Every structure is written in C-alpha cells, then in structure tokens.
Amino acid sequence: MSKRPHSPQESDIGTKRPRPASPKPFNPIKVATPEAAAAVDANPPAKQLVEALGDVVKNPDKGDCVVYWMRMHDLRNNRAFSNACEQARRDEIPVIVLFVFSPQDYIAHDRGARKIDFTLRNLAILKKTLADMDIPLHTVTYVPRKKIPEKVLNLLGSLGCKRLYANIEYEVDELRRDIKLCELALPQRVQINLSHNKAIVEPGVIFAPSSGKPYAVYSPYKKQWLKIVNDKLEHYLEEAADPTANDPSVRESETFGPLFETEIPSSIPGFELDDADKTKMTEVWPAGESAAREILLRFLNTKARTSQLGPVNPLADGAEDAAKHNRVVKYGGDRDRADKDTTSRLSPYFSSGVISVREVFRTTMRLFDIKKIDVNSNAGVGTWFSEIIWRDFYTDVLASFPRVSMGRPFQEKFSAVVWENHQSPEESRGPASKDSDSEALSRWKQGKTGVPIVDAAMRCIKEMGWVHNRPRMIVAMYLTKHLMIDWRVGERYFMENLIDGDLASNDGGWQWSASTGVDPCPYFRIFNPHSQSTKTDPSGDFIRYWVPELSKVRGPDLHTPSTSIVDKLKYPRPIIEHKEARERAMRRFKNPGST
C-alpha cells in the first residue's frame, strides 16, 4: 500500500495502543475516524491559530537577530521573509533564515522524493542568493516531529532571537504545530509572527453572505473572490518588499558566522531519488525563481510546440514568439488538450512557492493591459485566471473543512461506499508497499490498464512527475469509478509521485473525481474514458508518445483498440468494460454499503 498525504494527529484517531518498548518505524495512521474528523471540523485549527496569534508577546526584547522560518511552500521572497527583514532593519540586527527538515512529516504527508529533491535544489540556489546578501540560510533536521516547536524555540534561544516570522501552512498537523509554537513561545517571551502568503485571498475571508459559512461550491466562491479582489486590487496583488541585506559583519559573528557553512544536503535519507530520475527531474523542472519566471514568460508569449510533449526542458530553444497565438491566448479553447503543450506547467513552482501567484497575476495583467480581473473576457487569460482561483478555493476548503486534511470524504455519507481496495484507518498506517496492491491497482500505477488514455497519463506521471489536468481527471475517475478503488489510494500515489504534490489541490481533484468532495462531479456522471480520450487527445500524439506499443495505430482504434489489435501489438486487454464498470459504480454510490 502506498503512503498517503493526510496526517491527523495520532492521539485522536484509531484505537489507543500500549506504548512500545523500543522505538518503532514511524507509521502514522492517515485516515481519521468520522468522530475525530467531525470534532476537528467543529473547531478548525485554522481558527484556533488565529486566536493563538491574538495572544502572542506584544513587546519582546530586541534580541540579537530576527529569524524567518522558511517552509516548503515558500521557496522565494515572500511576506513573512519581507516582514522579518523589515524588523531586522529597524532593530539593526541581522536576519537569519531557517529551514527545518522533518522526515516524519514527509512520511505523514506522503511527500514524494521528487518534490523533496525539487525543494533541495531550490534551497541550494536560495542559499547562494541569500549569502550574496550576507543572509545565512541555516538548515536543521528535527525528529520527532511533535518536538519541532520546542526544538525551534531552543534554537532561537541559542541565537538570541526574540522574534520569529513564518508563513502559515494550512494542513491540520502544521496548524497544530504552530498553535503549540505560540503557546510555548509565550513564557519565553518570543514573539511569533505568522503571515498568509500562499493564496491571493487568504482562507477565512470569503463567506456566503446568507449563512456566514465558507463556500463548498466553486462558482459563488469565485464570484465573491472576484468582487473582493477587484475592489482592492493593489492590496491583494501587492508583492512583498525585496529582502534587505545584512551588514557583512554578520559573517564575523561567533554565533551567526558558522550558519553560512551549513550545507544544503543533496538528499534526505529515506527520500532519495535514483541518479537517472534526479538527472531527468533537473532537466524537466529546472529550479529557481528565474527559471520559473522564464517559464511564465514563455507561456505568455510563445506558441505551443508538440516537441514539448514529453520529459524535456521547458526552456529548450525553438519557442516561437506569437502575440496572438501564444499559449495563454489559446488557453480558453486548448486547455483540455493533452496532445499539445497548452498549459503553463507552473504547478511545481506554485506549489513550492518558487513563483508568487500575485506576481503571476501582475505580470500577466501588465502584458495584456488588464485593469480588472474578468474571467469571462480577455480570451484565454480570463480562463487561465479562473483555473488559478481553484487553487485559492481548495486552500480555503482545506482550512475551513479540515476533515479533508484527515483522509475523510467531505461528504461523509459516501464513506460507506464499498471499494475494491479500501483505505480504512488501520490500513492507512505504514509505509507504501506494492506487495498489497491488487492486480488492478498495480496495472493502473504501471499504465497497463488496457485503456490507452489512462495508460498514457499514468506513464507520463511515472516519467515526469506531472501530467496535464484533464488526464489527471480521467485517471482519477477511472480508478475510483471503473476499478472502484478508494480515492485515498490514488491520492497517496499522486502525492508520492507528483513534483507539484499539494494536499489542497490534490485532495480537491481526487474528491471531485470520486464524487465525495466539495462541489464534486455527481456520481452518476461517470467519464467514458474512450470518449474523453478523443476530446483530450484528438491527434493521438499524446497516446502515441507515451504508449509506444500503439505508435502505429491511427484513427478511432487508438482510443479504443479492438481485441485483435491489442493482442497483435501485445498491449493489455482492458481490465473491465465501461458499461459493466458504470453499472457497478452507480449501484454502489446509489446505496452506499451495497456491493
């Protein structure tokens, strides 16, 4: 069974067990009980954190330095860093950047080796950039994860720091960690300053006026989002001020000088990439803010290229400038085409915070002379903005309905649906083990289901750590409705393999496809993968690229090859026929609990 991303607090899930005599491998249960999830929903940790922040130390001593705790979603300049620099400048003391590696959190959240490698590559670039400004980037590894607040505060004590800055992470575990940090910092007279940075509109701002509750449906959320942002455009799109350099004398300090020497590791034990994958990821997903900006500019200014379909460098030569036929302008009509290089491929950069979503909006609006965000006009630009707003929506959902961060369906009524591979609380414990995969699950992961579009997409993920949105929807719907395998199994697999793995968007996408989430696809609307295939890959180039067994097949046969074709080409026969699968899924969803 593969790992999955949700990590409810161990104490409130499952049954209590006696304490082990010797240390055991860290295998947290990742699916909460319905009761635990309901209790957390009733008093969301995001709300508790806001309350805790109202109670922090008001006038701490100046101390010897200000620390900015950089987190996994923050790998560039951002609000917390900028605030930390501003405070350090005012107090005429240095700013120190801290990054904490927490392998237990990576296990609990199913962080994949590719995403961790991407983080390390970005940190290595940041380390150099910051050192040029005499700002040390210091890294530490802390285990167990529950002790992180104490350990961070101890470190602050040894650095003489009285003010800590960080951006908020909205997963339940991380929110609870920060609540504890605030509590423990009080008696030590350390001020904790936390900022919202991930989304354009932070969670908790958008409510349904009639009920005063957060939205669980995208359209009214988007409508409110547009109103709020357009009313205060400068505020919502304002970029954090650039960091200010430290005085070079910081390098001579006995306390701070050695922090410049901490090396960014090339891997984290237990999350190593093999050499070939590491080389490929470096080529396909170049690290650093300037690479991210260049990828954005290519999307905004140049034409799609078929040569960019596979695992290739996004900045490869040969992009053709085009004012009218560039990818963003064509996005409205082409965004569902997996056989073209139609989308921005910025998701890894957004999800690790290598590029700021506010900067992306500002750059795009400047280029197209847009004064107001209108998702219904400006050709493809409006549609593209609308897609990015989904990211804000799912972040809001994560903070407002924390059950989705605990492995529970948003719609609890569907928890009784019978799955072929069920993800029960007890089964969710433990590291990934392919041994317990059923044959169907194993074939899905390997891209050998016998459905060409599904296999092409799954092979693309395996090879690149990324696939276009429409094939993600198709494979997620296929796993949950055709194979009737628990969405949490697929969600874990995505988290482990995607370079853009993000709990909010991944859970949102999976629960949409499984019909269990906020604003989901209704359970009776089951994609026919063969007709979806003709829409997303009308040229067949995507399938032919990723499924070379079918590279000579043309026309409709490519999407639904006959038994004689597949047998001849040694391509697998489908695991299940669409009609049979559809009937089973309808039966099980209509009466959750029945088979």
Ligand X SMILES: Cc1cc2nc3c(=O)[nH]c(=O)nc-3n(C[C@H](O)[C@H](O)[C@H](O)COP(=O)(O)OP(=O)(O)OC[C@H]3O[C@@H](n4cnc5c(N)ncnc54)[C@H](O)[C@@H]3O)c2cc1C
* Residue 109 within binding range of ligand X, rule CB under 6 A: no
- Of the ranges 11-19, 143-151, 201-209, 345-353, which one interacts with ligand X (CB under 6 A)? 345-353
- SS3 call for 514: coil
* Beta strand pairing call for 161-167 and 137-141: unpaired
Residues 167, 344, 352, 405: which binds ligand X (CB under 6 A)? 344
Residue 336 annotated in ligand binding: no
Give yes or no for residue 473 binding ligand X (CB under 6 A): yes
Please check if 346 is assigned to a binding site. Answer: yes
SS3 72: coil
- H helices present in 372-468, as ranges: 380-400, 439-446, 452-464
CA angle 336, 337, 340 (to 5 degrees): 145
Q: Is 393 annotated as ligand-binding?
A: yes
Selection from 551, 535, 552 nearest residue 338 by Cα: 535
Given candidates 191, 449, 505, 516, which one binds ligand X under the rule CB under 6 A?
505
Nearer to ligand X, 387 or 420 (CB): 387
Output the smallest distance, CB 38 to ligand X, in A. Answer: 25
Question: By rule CB under 6 A, what count of residues binds ligand X?
Answer: 29
Q: Report the distance separating Cα 358 and Cα 471, nearest Å.
A: 27
Among 2, 82, 119, 347, binds ligand X (CB under 6 A): 347
For ligand X, the closer of residues 159 and 328 by Cβ is: 328
| Binding residue (CB under 6 A) for ligand X from 170, 225, 271, 510 | 510
- State how beta strands 95-101 and 137-141 pair: parallel
Collapsed DSSP state (helix, strand, coil) of residue 130: helix
Q: Are 383 and 332 in contact (CB under 8 A)?
A: yes
User: Is residue 211 annotated as involved in ligand binding?
Assistant: no
- Per-residue DSSP letters for 248-314? GGGGG-TTTGGGGGPPPPS--TT-PPPHHHHHHHHHHS--SHHHHHHHHHHHHHB---GGGSSS--T
Q: Amino acid identity of 33?
A: T
The annotation status of 76 as a binding-site residue, yes or no, is no
Contact between residue 485 and residue 444 where contact means Cβ atoms under 8 Å apart = yes
Euclidean distance between CA atoms 88 and 65, whole angstroms: 7
CA separation for the pair 537, 552 (Å, rounded): 15
Binding range to ligand X, per CB under 6 A, among 138-146, 190-198, 214-222, 499-507:
499-507
| One character per residue 379-398, x = contact with ligand X (rule: CB under 6 A) | --------xx-xx--x----
* Binding flags for ligand X, 478-497, as an x/- string (CB under 6 A): ----------------x---
Task: Give bridge partners of residue 191 from the DSSP assignment.
Answer: 163
Q: Which is nearer to ligand X, 162 or 345 (CB)?
A: 345
Does 212 belong to an annotated binding site? no
Nearer to ligand X, 256 or 361 (CB): 361
Is 165 labelled as part of a ligand binding site?
Answer: no
* 349 annotated ligand-binding residue: no
Q: Which is nearer to ligand X, 142 or 390 (CB)?
A: 390
Q: Per the annotation, where are the binding residues?
A: 331, 343-347, 384, 387-394, 500-502
Residues of the shown chain interacting with ligand X in the complex, contacts defined by CB under 6 A: 335, 343-347, 350-351, 387-388, 390-391, 394, 468-469, 472-473, 476, 494, 498, 500-502, 505-506, 508-510, 513
Pick out the residues of the known binding site for FAD.
331, 343-347, 384, 387-394, 500-502
